[in-house]
């Protein structure tokens, strides 16, 4: 890293500047990690030349290399382009005409994988404990995987049977339902979680990450029960930004592995993931006759056309057309 960051006298710590700008604009830690990785790879690909010395040709050569040699998906290629655009526009302050002319990879239009109600039942029957509770929450609420993993105590309202999803995709909040069949199991889990929290408090390690510098605005909030993650990690870890050792939320990979294991045990021949629960949630609501605008709001889609991809299931077969073989 040191060779790259000191590759030019004008910017001795280029990647640190990238990190600082990303944090100033409140980008997530995941986006920060990915952007820094792509910028580093771009510089290494061009023999550690400084980005100021390069232009559209070098950017396109790097993206072509990713597509042809790396055979990355269109979304991955576009993420790399977004990182480079951020570097030139936000960090280096270079507004060049070629930035707007670099063509993004075309995203393939694919139908989502959806499980039937019977398949959902078969899958959930093979999941128990913490992962079973989280999987049922994903299907019962339509939340994304990370939205579920990042849930905090204050975001669940048992009396109103609703969950407030904070800082979802596009930095938007929304409200979704809390399935009544999960109220009691979730309350039982929170009783255990409270004991875990009190043990952390006694050790002086009950602080959690707070977004948007809320820890400075409310100095005691980071150790409050209301801000604790509902699904905590098994142990402590070092916060990469603050350097503080504390308990973070559960690693989402654990739930992904649990779903994969249950899928194999159930014998379902579909490539399902935790995100499949969200697709199935939307599809089954539409099949039950709920308005597409309501489903759009529950999913947090900015445009109803995104939600309309689930309407394909309402017409069995091909657009409801009867096959001539059946006739």
Condensed to tens digits (0 to 9), the pLDDT of residues 108-143 reads 667 888 999 999 999 999 999 999 999 999 999 999
> Could you tell me where the beta strands, DSSP code E, fall in the chain?
156-157, 162-165, 174-177, 232-238, 245-249
> For residue 249, what are the β-bridge partners?
232
137 plus 243 within the same structural domain? yes
Is 150 inside a domain boundary? Answer: yes
Q: Which of 41, 154, 166, 275 is catalytic?
A: 275
Is 6 inside a domain boundary? Answer: yes
Domain limits for position 212: 119-266
Q: What is the pLDDT of residue 61?
A: 87
132 plus 252 within the same structural domain? yes
64 plus 160 within the same structural domain? no
Query: Could you tell me which residues come within 8 angstroms of residue 139 by beta carbon, excluding any fewer than 6 positions away?
Result: 120, 124, 277, 280, 281
Q: What is the pLDDT of residue 8?
A: 45
Active site residue 169: yes
Q: Which of 169, 189, 248, 312 is catalytic?
A: 169
Q: What is the pLDDT of residue 5?
A: 53
86 plus 127 within the same structural domain? no
Q: What is the pLDDT of residue 9?
A: 43
Q: Which of 144, 150, 246, 249 is catalytic?
A: 144
Active site residue 189: no
Q: What is the pLDDT of residue 238?
A: 87
Whichever domain contains 191, its CATH number is 1.10.443
Q: Which SS3 state, helix, strand or coil, does residue 311 take?
A: helix
Looking at residue 52, the DSSP 8-state letter turns out to be: G
Residue ranges for the chain with pLDDT beneath 50: 1, 6-11
In the numeric block, which tokens belong to residue 27? 């980008």
> Could you tell me where the beta strands, DSSP code E, fall in 162-231?
162-165, 174-177
Q: Which of 152, 193, 249, 278 is catalytic?
A: 278
């Amino acid at each position: 890293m040191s060779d790259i960051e000191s590759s030019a006298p004008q910017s001795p710590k280029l990647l640190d500047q990238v990190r600082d700008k990303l944090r100033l604009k409140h980008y997530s830690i995941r986006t920060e990690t990915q952007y820094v990785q792509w910028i580093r790879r771009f510089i290494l690909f061009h023999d550690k030349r400084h980005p100021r010395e390069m232009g559209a040709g070098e950017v396109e050569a790097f993206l072509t290399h990713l597509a042809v040699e790396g055979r990355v998906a269109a979304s991955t290629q576009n993420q790399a382009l977004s990182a480079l655009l951020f570097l030139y526009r936000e960090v280096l302050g270079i507004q060049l005409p070629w930035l707007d002319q670099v063509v993004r990879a075309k995203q393939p239009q694919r139908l989502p994988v959806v499980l039937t109600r019977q398949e959902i039942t078969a899958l959930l029957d093979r999941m128990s404990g913490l992962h079973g509770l989280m999987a049922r929450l994903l299907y019962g609420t339509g939340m994304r995987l990370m939205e579920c993993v990042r849930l905090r105590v204050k975001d669940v309202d048992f009396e109103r049977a609703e969950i407030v999803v904070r800082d979802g995709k596009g930095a938007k909040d929304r409200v979704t339902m809390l399935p009544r069949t999960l109220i009691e199991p979730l309350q039982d889990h929170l009783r255990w979680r409270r004991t875990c929290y009190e043990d952390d408090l006694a050790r002086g390690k009950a602080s959690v990450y707070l977004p948007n510098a809320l820890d400075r605005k409310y100095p005691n909030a980071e150790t409050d029960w209301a801000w604790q993650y509902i699904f905590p990690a098994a142990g402590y870890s070092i916060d990469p930004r603050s350097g503080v050792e504390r308990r973070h939320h559960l690693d989402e990979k654990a739930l992904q592995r649990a779903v994969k294991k249950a899928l194999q045990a159930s014998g379902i021949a579909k490539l399902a993931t935790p995100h499949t629960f969200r697709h199935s949630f939307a599809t089954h609501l539409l099949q039950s006759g709920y308005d597409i605008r309501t489903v759009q709001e529950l999913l947090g889609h900015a445009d109803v056309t995104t939600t309309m991809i689930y309407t394909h299931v309402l017409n069995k077969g091909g657009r409801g057309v009867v096959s001539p073989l059946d006739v």
